[in-house]
């Protein structure tokens, strides 16, 4: 039997942007919306048109440029809001209006200060007004999961009678349990007059960590639209996470009997884009897109993964657009993982050399959390004669100033020739100056693609870890380094990534020569 299609409604640019500090300008919204379209979402809610001229412009421009995705205009149950949403989305090839109005007693008493009957009349009048302007109308009784069933039914019957086509029953404050939320949809579908003639959407917040579970429960109850945000960003603890929901469905779709239209290869790129633009870091242990989601340090796990990935991974990170780097070398790692990593560098060690390296590695691993690739190669070099990296950072100086360009000077040793050269450059920031200096030393078209900085300890003697990603001829290389000087950590990680690119290209040339 064919799987039922679940429509992914992305509200990163509206509800997600309401997270404190996540504000976006119109250009950033347009850029993100284009990526969401590449990701394959069905509906984009680009903002709140009445809230500001910038939001109105962003919604309007996205409506004009993205003709293959449904655009949703968001509005309170107020004529001015509806008019703004209609104007902002008028150029969309496909559109809906999303009206909301509080329904719980606590919201009515303390926020709206209106009676239940006044709320029903507002809902009825404004849905009818919106329906005269746009055919697809979504209505949300805000705080539905804390609204009594009798009054909730009354509100929903009123909006259905006036032409609402999609009922969104939101768990606005993340209060519901999965079994409660699923049961609510079943009760509405069975007990509300006209409920069998409309579509249903779920919108869950994550205050109790149940947003994804509640959304899956809603799907099991017949919901066909789920409202999500990338990385789960949003008010308070956030919204249902797009990547978590989609991959739960993708991984268990045969059991659930449902599927989405999401292009999973774009998940990682989209997640990183949102994180960077909103300046919201992703937790290391965040499912699907977190740094540790597909990385393993325990020796038992590493051994199993090297024999068969399915032993400890239920998803293939490469199908999500995540670069493969499953083995992290730390004090829990074993000989199999160590040998695997060294072999990746094109280095073959005999049994005696591997055992010597393992002893040195364990001593180093006890000193710090992980052993970075540049440190590993130093250990290899001291274990096996002649096993050296192509380039070594000998010395670095950086001059910073608050009123002029920063300047960096680096001394690089070419280990093939033994020669040392000094390179200097400037940049708007110290990292840019360092990278511009180092690029001069590497005879390859190196592009600085990405960087992450993490503090590994606290206090005056804190160390920092820099993870640098570069691109050479379209191929990505990533490496990390640890140092008390974070700028030096960046420089060492950059050089290590370049050395990795050199090794890969050298191995490719040798392999080609051997087979030709």
Q: Is the dihedral of CA 73, 223, 317, 482 positive or negative?
A: positive
Q: What is the pLDDT of residues 140-168, one digit of tens each?
A: 999 999 999 999 999 999 999 999 999 99
Token duo for residue 418: 């033994």
Model pLDDT, residue 390: 87
CB-based contacts of 239, cutoff 8 Å, min separation 6: 11, 15, 16, 203, 204, 205, 206, 211, 227, 228, 229, 232, 233
CATH code given to domain 391-515? 3.30.160.270
What is the pLDDT of the chain when averaged over all its residues?
Answer: 90
Tell me the mean pLDDT in the region 343-365.
81
DSSP code for 330: B
Model pLDDT, residue 370: 75
Does 299 have pLDDT greater than 70? no
What are the strands of the beta sheet with 406-414, ordered from one edge? 391-399, 406-414, 419-427
287: left (phi over 0), alpha (psi -120 to 50) or beta: beta
Does 113 have pLDDT greater than 90? no
Instruction: Give the span between the Cα atoms of 311 and 315, in whole angstroms.
Output: 11
Helix (H) or strand (E) holding 137: strand 137-142
Please tell us whether the domain made up of 299-383 is placed in CATH 1.10.238. Answer: yes
Instruction: Give the span between the Cα atoms of 372 and 480, in whole angstroms.
Output: 6
Q: How confident is the model at residue 346 (pLDDT cuts 50, 70, 90)?
A: low
Helix boundaries (H) for 403-485: 430-441
Give me the residue spans of the domains in the chain.
4-278, 299-383, 391-515
Tell me the mean pLDDT in the region 400-409.
86
Token duo for residue 395: 């010395």
183: left (phi over 0), alpha (psi -120 to 50) or beta: alpha
Does 384 have pLDDT greater than 60? no
Does 387 have pLDDT greater than 60? no
- Label residues 34-56 b or e (16+ Cβ within 10 Å = b): ebbbebbbbbbbbbbbbbeeebb
Model pLDDT, residue 296: 65
Does 175 have pLDDT greater than 70? yes
Q: How confident is the model at residue 298 (pLDDT cuts 50, 70, 90)?
A: low
**Contact predicate 237/17, CB 8 Å:** no
Q: Which residue has the higher pLDDT, 454 or 217?
A: 217
Q: Which residue has the higher pLDDT, 184 or 388?
A: 184
Does 513 have pLDDT greater than 70? no
Query: What residues pair up with 10 in beta bridges, in sequence order?
Result: 44, 228
Does 386 have pLDDT greater than 70? no
Q: How many percent of the chain have pLDDT more than 70?
A: 92
Instruction: Give the span between the Cα atoms of 309 and 315, in whole angstroms.
Output: 9
Does 319 have pLDDT greater than 70? yes
Token duo for residue 458: 């606290």
Tokens 């040798």 found at? 510
Model pLDDT, residue 261: 97
Model pLDDT, residue 389: 79
CATH of 4-278, picked from 3.40.630.30, 3.20.20.70, 3.40.50.1000, 3.40.50.11030, is 3.20.20.70
Q: What's the angle, vertex CA 63, arms to CA 60 and CA 68, rounded to 5?
A: 170
Q: Transcribe 174-192 into DSSP letters.
A: S---HHHHHHHHHHHHHHS
94: nearest Cα among 25, 42, 29, 40: 42
Does 476 have pLDDT greater than 90? no
């Amino acid at each position: 039997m064919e799987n039922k299609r679940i429509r992914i409604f992305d509200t990163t640019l509206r509800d997600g942007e309401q997270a404190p500090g996540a504000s976006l300008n119109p250009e950033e919204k347009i850029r993100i919306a284009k990526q969401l379209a590449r990701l394959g979402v069905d509906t984009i809610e680009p903002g709140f048109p009445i809230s500001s001229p910038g939001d109105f412009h962003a919604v309007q421009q996205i409506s004009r440029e993205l003709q293959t995705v449904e655009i949703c205009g968001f509005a309170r149950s107020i004529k001015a809001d509806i008019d703004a949403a209609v104007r902002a989305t008028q150029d969309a090839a496909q559109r809906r209006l999303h009206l909301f109005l509080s329904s719980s007693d606590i919201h009515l008493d303390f926020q709206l200060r209106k009676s239940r009957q006044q709320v029903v009349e507002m809902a009825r009048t404004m849905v009818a007004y919106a329906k005269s302007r746009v055919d697809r109308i979504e209505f949300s009784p805000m705080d539905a999961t804390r609204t009594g069933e009798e009054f909730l039914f009354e509100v929903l019957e009123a909006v259905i009678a006036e032409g609402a086509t999609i009922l969104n029953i939101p768990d606005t404050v993340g209060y519901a349990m999965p079994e409660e939320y699923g049961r609510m949809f079943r009760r509405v579908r069975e007990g509300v007059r006209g409920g069998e003639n409309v579509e249903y959407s779920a919108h869950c917040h994550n205050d109790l960590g149940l947003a994804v579970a509640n959304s899956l429960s809603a799907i099991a109850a017949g919901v066909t639209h789920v409202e999500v945000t990338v990385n789960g960003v949003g008010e308070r603890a956030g919204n249902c996470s797009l990547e978590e929901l989609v991959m739960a469905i993708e991984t268990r779709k045969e059991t659930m009997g449902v599927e989405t239209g999401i292009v999973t290869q774009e998940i990682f790129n989209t997640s990183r884009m949102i994180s960077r633009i909103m300046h919201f870091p992703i937790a290391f242990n965040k499912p699907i897109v977190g740094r540790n989601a597909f990385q393993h340090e325990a020796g038992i796990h590493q051994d199993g993964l090297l024999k068969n990935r399915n032993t400890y991974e239920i998803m293939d990170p490469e199908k999500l657009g995540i670069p493969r780097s499953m083995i992290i070398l730390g004090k829990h790692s074993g000989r199999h993982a160590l040998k695997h990593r060294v072999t990746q560098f094109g280095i073959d060690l005999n049994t005696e050399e591997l055992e010597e390296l393992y002893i040195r590695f364990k001593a180093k691993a006890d000193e710090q959390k992980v052993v970075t690739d540049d440190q590993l190669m130093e250990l290899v070099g001291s274990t096996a004669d002649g096993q050296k990296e192509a380039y070594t950072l000998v010395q670095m100086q950086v001059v910073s100033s608050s009123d002029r360009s920063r300047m960096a000077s680096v001394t690089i040793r070419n280990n093939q020739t033994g020669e040392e050269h000094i390179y200097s450059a400037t940049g708007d920031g110290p990292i840019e100056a360092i990278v511009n200096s180092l690029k001069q030393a590497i005879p390859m078209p190196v592009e600085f693609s990405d960087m992450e900085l993490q503090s590994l300890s606290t206090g005056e003697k804190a160390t920092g870890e820099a993870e640098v990603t570069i691109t050479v001829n379209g191929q990505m290389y990533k490496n990390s380094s640890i140092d008390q000087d974070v700028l030096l950590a960046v420089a060492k990680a950059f050089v290590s990534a370049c050395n990795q690119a050199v090794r890969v290209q050298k191995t490719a040339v040798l392999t080609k020569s051997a087979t030709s």
